Amino acid sequence: MRNPFLAEFKTPHQSAPFKAIKTEHYIPAIEQGIKTALQEIEALLSQKEAPTFANTLEKLEDCGKQIGRTSSLLFNLNSAETSKSLQQITQQAAPLLTQFQNDIRLNTRLFERIEAVYQNEDRSKLTAEQITLLEKEYKSFVRNGAKLPASSKEKLRAIDTELAQLSLRFGEHVLADTQAFQLHLDNKADLKGLPPTLIEAAAQEAKSRKLKGWVFTLDYPSYVPFMTYAENRDLRKKMSLAFGQRGFQDNAQNNSAIILSIVKLRKARAELLGYDSHAAFVLEERMAQTEDQVAAFLNDLAAKAKPAAKKEWDTLQDFARHNLGLEKLEKWDTAYASEKLKQHILDLDEQELKPYFPLDYVLQGLFTIVGKLYGLHFRKTDEVDPYHPEVTVFEVYKDEAFYALLYTDFFPRAGKRSGAWMTSYKSQSKTARPHISIVCNFSRPTASQPALLTFQEVTTLFHEFGHALHGILANTTYSSLSGTSVCWDFVELPSQIMENWCYQPDALSLFAKHYKTGAALPPEMIEKIKKTAYFQQGMQTLRQLSFGYLDLSYHTKKADQIQAVKAHEREQISELQFTEEAKENCVSTAFSHIFQGGYAAGYYSYKWAEVLDADAFELFLEKGLFDSQTATSFLENILSKGGTEHPMILYKRFRGKAPDPAALLRRAGLI
């Protein structure tokens, strides 16, 4: 069997040959990649010369490129284009890769060389990036057990292997429950209030499932507008409960036991390494630094947001009672009632905006904006294999030189997890340009019209594109410090700052045009969009804070005392919620960010980064939306630098000062 992973990719830009890759290629490639990498490590250790940065750290940086390439493709596809067979392969691969990582991090001889460089190398002869790499590698070894006795190292190996498998299983369960549900309607009266575009998409979905009528799913482009516009309250309740039951049903996909196992294992791992909690372990290497600082940050925001949120809730309740006949708002009413209130206050119906945001126009407008800011140009190519027929690939150029590949994947389908994310198939280094992917779940085009985005989907696209820019514009020497390889509470700055352009008339004029007439979005609608940025910001802030508190609670020193997921969740976030919780529902069992993704003890970073982006964008507002000097500074000090220096150093270099926390409150209208 010819295995494409075991040879150089002789493709345009050495891109992944997706059409040639089969599931049976992965495990042999991973096994061979591990063998090759361990041989490279042994060669590094067999050197007779005394350890130096060049013969130890730089050589280690170059080890394992084959295994890195294979594993990144496997795990990326397991999120964007999975199948039962690929999930099985991923479960097989996880313990192999975990053991491999531990074989490196727990290698005593390797650590001794790194420690020798760490203690003896003349730092005056190293660049700032080299010093960062040295310190990062040394800390990484220590923080992953290099100094532990042999018996503890074996315990660490067992914990890491189990955690890797549990995390994968958690995500598989959420995906399975999401795809298992459908709301099949055959009575036209049940569609009252729903936008024609959603009805058409639901009819198309029903037809694809060989059903008559309309089918609505838990995928965001179906679920969110249904909850926002459906007048049938019983059906809203049915959809809401189904969404909240993911991972919490009496079936094989229940994630409650997995969560308890994960939090106890994370706590045990942290204690093994000398920390009180997983949060203490994680936050040591974040801008926030300590659990107390995170708690203080969340508490301060909560104290400022609660009064505003309470006023907003009272207004919503009064409106629903007097205008919608809803005496008591339930969780399945809030999106519906909020949309009606927004229409009443702002005279703005989100559905009126959608014709002005066809996906192709928005994407081209986004290309234009980043072209103005950073000098990038995007050219669609058919020469590079996509991993699915709906994926489009762009070559990215800067100053006429090839700079990156960009894969765009916009629509939900079976085998694709919900949400939106950016990822990398190939990271940037001194000798390689990156291959970046953005994955979303937007409303599909229908037989009568192109894909039309809600304004929230527009901001989502800009957000993920900000992450993509962090990867595309990376310009570091070492791939392990490139792009989004930064402190986790800094990683959202490039993404969240991009959302600001969605509210600016000069930016909207570049892409907000009616898909039929080409007419620009009217100025009065732009003003209404700007006002939506302040709509229910108190309630929105509390919602995000509730996730931050919940995440932190699973990773404190008391995490292993949690007995029941649902009861614990209720205790943590009930004071931040205005509707009664549904006994059938649980947030935690589908909280993929912290139990499948990388946000464990880090969900607070969304609000943390909002402080950074609000403060940073004030400089663009002061100097000009497309001011070249400001954009160049953001590129040179933030986007291109990755994790080569501490984020606060990079931020101050761009902004000239530390971030002002009040900037977020000013933008949100909370002060």
Backbone conformation region of residue 419, classed left if phi is above 0, alpha if psi is from -120 to 50, else beta: left
Q: Cα–Cα distance between 624 and 644 in angstroms, integer?
A: 28
CA of 352: how far to CAs of 202, 278, 332, 348, 454, in Å? 19, 47, 23, 8, 9
Is residue 32 domain-shared with residue 112, that is, in the same domain?
A: yes
pLDDT digits (tens, 9 = 90+) for 226-250: 999 999 999 999 999 999 999 999 9
What count of other Cβ atoms lies within 10 Å of the Cβ of residue 478?
A: 23
User: Of 227, 244, 261, which marks where a domain is finished?
Assistant: 244
d(CA 264, CA 304): 33
For residue 516, count CB atoms less than 10 angstroms from its CB and return exposed for 0-12, middle for 13-18, buried for 19 or more.
Answer: exposed
Residue 513 zone, left/alpha/beta (φ > 0; ψ -120 to 50; rest)? beta
CA gap 596, 231 in Å, rounded:
35
Q: Are 138 and 207 in a shared domain?
A: no
Residues with Cβ < 8 Å from 383, sequence gap 6 or more? 12
Residue 275 placed within a domain: no
- For residue 360, tell me if it sits in a domain: yes
Say if residue 389 is in the same domain as residue 518: yes
Q: Same structural domain for residues 112 and 198?
A: no
- What's the token pair of residue 647? 């984020």
- CATH of residue 498: 1.10.1370.40
Q: Are residues 143 and 217 in the same domain?
A: no
Question: Average pLDDT of each block of 10 consecutive residues along the chain (671 residues)?
Answer: 91 97 97 97 96 97 95 96 95 95 95 97 96 96 94 95 96 96 97 95 96 96 96 98 98 98 98 96 92 94 93 98 97 97 92 95 98 98 97 96 98 92 96 97 92 96 98 97 93 96 96 97 93 92 96 96 96 94 96 93 93 96 97 98 96 96 85 75
Whether residue 410 is found in the same domain as residue 520: yes
Distance, in Å, from the CA atom of 80 to the CA atom of 444, rounded to the nearest integer, reads 16
How many CB atoms are closer than 10 A to CB 300?
12
428, part of any domain: yes
Largest CA distance in the chain: 83
Handedness of CA 189, 190, 195, 199 (dihedral sign): negative
Q: How many domains would you assign to the chain?
A: 3
For residues 389 and 459, state if they share a domain.
Answer: yes
Amino acid in position 114: I
Provide the 10 A C-beta neighbour count for residue 489: 25
In a domain? residue 511: yes
- Do 140 and 231 belong to one domain? no
126, 147, 168 - which closes a domain: 147
Give burial (CB, 10 Å; 0-12/13-18/19+) of 127. Answer: exposed
Give Cα 115 to chain centroid, integer Å: 34
Residues sharing a CB contact under 8 Å with residue 54, sequence separation 6 or more, in sequence order: none
Q: How far, in Å, CA of 17 to CA of 73, rounded?
A: 10
Domain-located, residue 104 = yes
Domain range for 504:
355-533
Distance between CA atoms of residues 265 and 600, nearest Å? 13
CATH number at residue 93: 1.20.1050.40
Residue 408 and residue 477 share a domain: yes
Q: With residue 394 as reference, give the H or E element that holds it.
A: strand 392-398
Q: What is the pLDDT of residue 597?
A: 86
Q: Is 464 a catalytic residue?
A: yes
- Catalytic position from the list 81, 137, 464, 569: 464
**Residue 58 domain flag:** yes
Tens digits of residue pLDDT in 400-425: 999 999 999 999 998 999 899 999 99
Is there a single domain that holds both residue 209 and residue 70?
no
Assess contact for 166 and 173: CB atoms under 8 A.
no
Q: What percentage of the chain's residues is helix, strand, coil (to nearest 5)?
A: 60, 5, 35
- Taking residue 319's Cβ as centre, other Cβ atoms within 10 Å add up to 18
Give the bridge partners for 513, in sequence order.
Answer: 520
- Cα–Cα dist 414/450, whole Å: 21
Reported in sequence order, the residue ranges of 410-512 that DSSP labels E, i.e. its strands, are: 421-426, 435-439
Q: Per residue in 106-160, pLDDT tens?
A: 999 999 999 999 999 999 999 999 999 999 999 999 999 999 999 999 999 999 9
Question: CA-CA distances (angstroms) from residue 479 to 231, 245, 529, 589, 642?
Answer: 52, 40, 40, 34, 9
Residue 512 and residue 386 share a domain: yes
User: Do residues 97 and 30 touch, judged by C-beta distance below 8 A?
Assistant: yes
CA–CA separation, 353 vs 523, rounded Å? 12
Cβ neighbour number for residue 522 with a 10 Å cutoff: 12
Dihedral sign, Cα of residue 223, residue 227, residue 231, residue 235:
positive
Residue pair 498/466 in contact by the 8 Å Cβ criterion: yes
* 135 shares its domain with 225: no
Last residue of a domain, one of 224, 244, 264: 244
Angle CA(652)–CA(656)–CA(657) in degrees, nearest 5? 65
β-strand pairing of 401-409 with 435-439: parallel
CA–CA dist 259, 596 (Å, integer)? 10
